[in-house]
Amino acid sequence: MTKNYQYLIDVYKATLDDSKLYINTRSSHWDEWYEKNKKFFKLENLINFRNNRVLSAGLDDSINIGSKLDLYEFLENFDSDFLKKNLPNKNVGNCDNAIKLLGYYFDFGIIHHLKWYEKIESYINNNSKIIEIGGGFGSLARIIIKNKNIKYFLIDLPEANLQSNFYLQNHFPDKKIFNYLDFKNKNIENEIENYDIFILPPNAIKILTEKNFFFDFVINSRSFMEMKKETIVGYFNFIQKKTNIDGYFLNINRYSKSVVGEDIKFKDYPYDDFWNVVISEKSFLQEDHSHFMLTIRKRNGEKGNIKNELQNLQSDLSSQKKHFRKLMLFKNNLKKFTWVLINKSLTFLFGKSKIRKLSKIFYNMSIK
């Protein structure tokens, strides 16, 4: 098994060697996290990639939580059976912010992914081809692969791909993963039936565009907002060319973000006219700054309602008040301050109704 892990580092190094071909789309935002590549060469760091976020910084939301009590409360958003089915039973990467409960592990980051999957589950069919652009270390991918018999493509920077390779190999030891070295030496179109998961660097989409297969579901969550406009246009061209008719595109990103020297706004994403909106709403737990949009692909000539929705989104965004954001920031800071000052037992005493709800969830999860 250790030998396989070392192989993943060899794959990572090979991708770096070909960086001019396949990773020249990296924005300045990621230089902060990935400029010191040598830490990614160490096997010990890979095995513990989520411990103190030694490798997963920038991809890992597990640290973004005021208190562990908050984390328990988030479980109220899910049915017990759903949690038992979808929470991992191993702490791959040894995340130090994860909580172990009844043999399952959860952290703040996975709470988002569980909710996203809950919303899109009915739109994903077995035998689909799914492509996730900017899938990080594979947390959302794990949930989908666990539930659906599909072919899953992950497109991300080499450092993220190293982590998703390790993470998904640990969770699915029987799945065959098509890595960058396979991509260099084999015709991917001939290998679709021989592999289950395909983990590739960004500009691989140039070759995928030329292949004679299409995707049934496309996902981008919180990474378009960290790309330059030119790169975003390239991805949208790919998505709009390679998505099947009646295929879906899930876009979860900030309304506006400026970390690449440009203002990247959701309302300006270059959708063509041939998308119909299925779900358009504020994103779970990030209502003040992010949007969740699921669209379905129409035939050329059959215009959808996407442009109207983007225009409405612009109107909604312009009406947001600055004091609302300040209020949310104050609320979050107050919760953190309160957690430091108040003994945990007192918090439980003044939250009996929540404890009853959580006890019911924990009890149902414990029933085998």
Q: Which band of pLDDT confidence, cut at 50, 70 and 90, is reported for residue 19?
A: confident
How far, in Å, CA of 166 to CA of 139, rounded? 12
Helices (H), 18-107: 19-22, 31-34, 43-47, 68-74, 80-86
How far, in Å, CA of 181 to CA of 159, rounded? 15
pLDDT tens, residue by residue, 125-166: 999 999 999 999 999 999 999 999 999 999 999 999 999 999
The pair of structure tokens assigned to 279 is 């779900």
Give me the pLDDT at residue 35, please: 63
pLDDT tens, residue by residue, 177-189: 999 999 999 999 9
Give me the pLDDT at residue 362, please: 65
Q: Which has more confidence, 59 or 121?
A: 121
C-alpha distances (whole Å) from 59 to each of 139, 193, 254, 363 are 10, 30, 15, 32
Helices (H), 87-153: 108-120, 139-147
Q: Which band of pLDDT confidence, cut at 50, 70 and 90, is reported for residue 358?
A: low
Statement: residue 258 has pLDDT above 60: yes
The beta-carbon contacts of 116-119 under 8 Å, at least 24 apart in sequence, are 116/140, 116/221, 116/250, 116/252, 116/284, 116/292, 117/86, 117/143, 117/144, 117/147, 118/78, 118/82, 119/279, 119/292, 119/294
Give me the pLDDT at residue 300, please: 84
Chain mean position to CA 94: 19
Contacts of residue 15, Cβ cutoff 8 Å, sequence gap at least 6: 22, 23, 158, 161, 180, 201
Residue 43 pairs in a beta bridge with: none
Q: Which has more confidence, 165 or 33?
A: 165
φ and ψ of 158, to 5 deg: -55, -35
C-alpha distances (whole Å) from 324 to each of 266, 292, 321, 331 are 20, 20, 6, 11
Statement: residue 356 has pLDDT above 50: yes
Give me the pLDDT at residue 46, please: 97
Report the mean per-residue pLDDT for the chain: 86
% of the chain beyond a pLDDT of 90: 67
Global pTM reads 0.86
Report the length, in residues, of the chain: 368
Statement: residue 271 has pLDDT above 80: yes
Instruction: Kindly state the average pLDDT of the residues 257-273.
Output: 93
Contacts of residue 161, Cβ cutoff 8 Å, sequence gap at least 6: 11, 12, 15, 154, 180, 199, 200, 201
Contact 129, 150 (CB under 8 A): yes
Contact 231, 200 (CB under 8 A): no
Which DSSP category does 94 fall into?
Answer: -
Give me the pLDDT at residue 365, please: 73
Q: Which band of pLDDT confidence, cut at 50, 70 and 90, is reported for residue 346?
A: very low
Instruction: Kindly state the average pLDDT of the residues 196-221.
Output: 95
Give me the pLDDT at residue 148, please: 98
The pair of structure tokens assigned to 351 is 């939250």
The pair of structure tokens assigned to 65 is 């939580």
Give me the pLDDT at residue 225, please: 93
Statement: residue 23 has pLDDT above 80: no
The pair of structure tokens assigned to 3 is 């030998």
Statement: residue 265 has pLDDT above 60: yes
pLDDT tens, residue by residue, 298-343: 998 889 999 999 998 875 555 444 444 454 455 555 555 554 444 4
- 201 in helix, strand or coil? coil
Statement: residue 36 has pLDDT above 70: no
Contacts of residue 205, Cβ cutoff 8 Å, sequence gap at least 6: 155, 234, 235, 238
If we measure between CA atoms, which residue out of 112, 109, 105 comes closest to residue 77?
112
Contact 262, 232 (CB under 8 A): no
% of the chain beyond a pLDDT of 70: 80
Statement: residue 289 has pLDDT above 50: yes
Minimum mean pLDDT among 33-42, 47-56, 164-173: which range? 33-42
- 219 in helix, strand or coil? strand
